[in-house]
């Protein structure tokens, strides 16, 4: 089972080398999508021979980085892509847990959840992020018949044969809203596994006017509504199959 670890990166020079070294300890094939970084990120990436790199000439957005990683992996005939953030909020040591879930062969999307299981060392989430995550997660579950507990975790494994049924084009931070609608409508089997809840920088900024929580929630709802109105790329499947499994 060929799988690729993909890391979207934008100005993460402070964390990049540590995270990459940890990822390389547990994974052979690693892709970094440098989303137009203006710091030392390109110089750090050059220190890792054999590392696959996609570099955007300008900042295109988190969603576009994930989309480009999925397309790259599909062209290279990988079967799975595991996305992991590069800000030390995801633990590379947990990548083998995703691989074990992939090997069970009963899911198409294996999504990390920071809320389905409490670890003693978990950080408390920023209040506005937890509130928005809960509201959006509850809404997605109600509208799509899912059983998610964390709709915004970027630590995720994607089966590429299932991803080919999707028409993803949401470039920014609202990418998960489009992703979940299309995955559910496309009949993807969805599974969550618990991951640590880590917040290294509770004051991290979103940019593009999304730092204000009310505006961020409004933007997410706009993208969700637009996606629900879009004709489905594939026939919707039975919700019981879509809801899939849960390892939490």
Q: Which two tokens stand for residue 134?
A: 């809960």
Element (H, E) at 33: strand 30-34
Q: With bands split at pLDDT 50, 70 and 90, how would you rate the model's confidence at 69?
A: very high
Contact between 244 and 157 under an 8 Å Cβ cutoff? The reply is no
Q: Is the pTM of this model over 0.85?
A: yes
CATH no. of 3-243: 3.90.550.10
CA 50 to CA 27: how far, in whole Å?
13
Q: Report the alpha-carbon distance of residue 204 to residue 207 in Å, rounded.
A: 9
pLDDT for residue 203:
60
Separation between Cα atoms, residue 170 and residue 140, nearest integer Å = 17
Q: List the one residue out of 192, 197, 187, 108 whose CA is nearest residue 151.
A: 192
CA 77 – CA 161 distance, rounded (Å) = 10
Residue 200 has pLDDT above 80, yes or no: no
Q: How much is the pLDDT for 88?
A: 86
Tell me phi and psi for residue 86, to 5 degrees: -115, 20
Query: Is-contact 230 185, C-beta < 8 A?
Result: no
- 3 neighbors 102 (Cβ within 8 angstroms): yes
pLDDT at 246: 59
What per-residue confidence (pLDDT) applies to 198? 83
Please give the mean pLDDT across all residues of the chain. Answer: 91
- For residue 233, give both structure tokens: 């790329």
pLDDT at 204 over 70: no
Residue found under tokens 């995955």: 183
Q: What gap in Å lies between CA 91 and CA 74, rounded to an integer? A: 25
Residue 236 banded pLDDT, cuts 50, 70, 90: very low
Of the two residues 26 and 212, the one the predictor is more confident about is 26
Task: From 3, 197, 191, select the one nearest 101 (Cα to Cα).
Answer: 191
């Amino acid at each position: 089972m060929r799988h690729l670890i993909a890391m979207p990166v934008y100005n993460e020079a402070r964390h990049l080398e540590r995270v990459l070294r940890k990822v390389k300890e547990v994974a052979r094939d690693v892709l970094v999508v440098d989303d137009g970084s203006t710091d030392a990120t390109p110089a750090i990436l050059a220190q890792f021979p054999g590392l696959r790199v996609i570099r955007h000439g300008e900042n295109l957005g988190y969603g576009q980085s994930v989309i480009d990683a999925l397309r790259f992996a599909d062209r290279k005939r990988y079967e799975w892509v595991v996305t992991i953030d590069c800000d030390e909020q995801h633990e590379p040591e947990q990548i083998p847990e995703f691989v074990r879930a992939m090997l069970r062969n009963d899911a198409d999307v294996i999504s990390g959840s920071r809320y389905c299981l409490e670890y003693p060392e978990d950080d408390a989430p920023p209040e506005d992020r937890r509130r928005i995550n809960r509201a959006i997660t509850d809404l997605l579950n109600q509208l799509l018949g899912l059983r998610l507990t964390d709709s915004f975790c970027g630590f995720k494994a994607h089966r590429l044969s299932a991803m080919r049924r999707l028409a993803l084009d949401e470039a920014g931070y609202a990418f998960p809203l489009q992703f979940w609608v299309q995955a559910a409508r496309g009949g993807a089997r969805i599974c969550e596994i618990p991951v640590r809840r880590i917040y290294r920088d509770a004051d991290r900024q979103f940019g593009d006017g999304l730092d204000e929580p009310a505006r961020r929630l409004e933007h997410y709802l706009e993208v969700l509504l637009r996606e629900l109105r879009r004709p489905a790329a594939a026939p919707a499947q039975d919700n019981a199959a879509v809801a899939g499994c849960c390892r939490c």
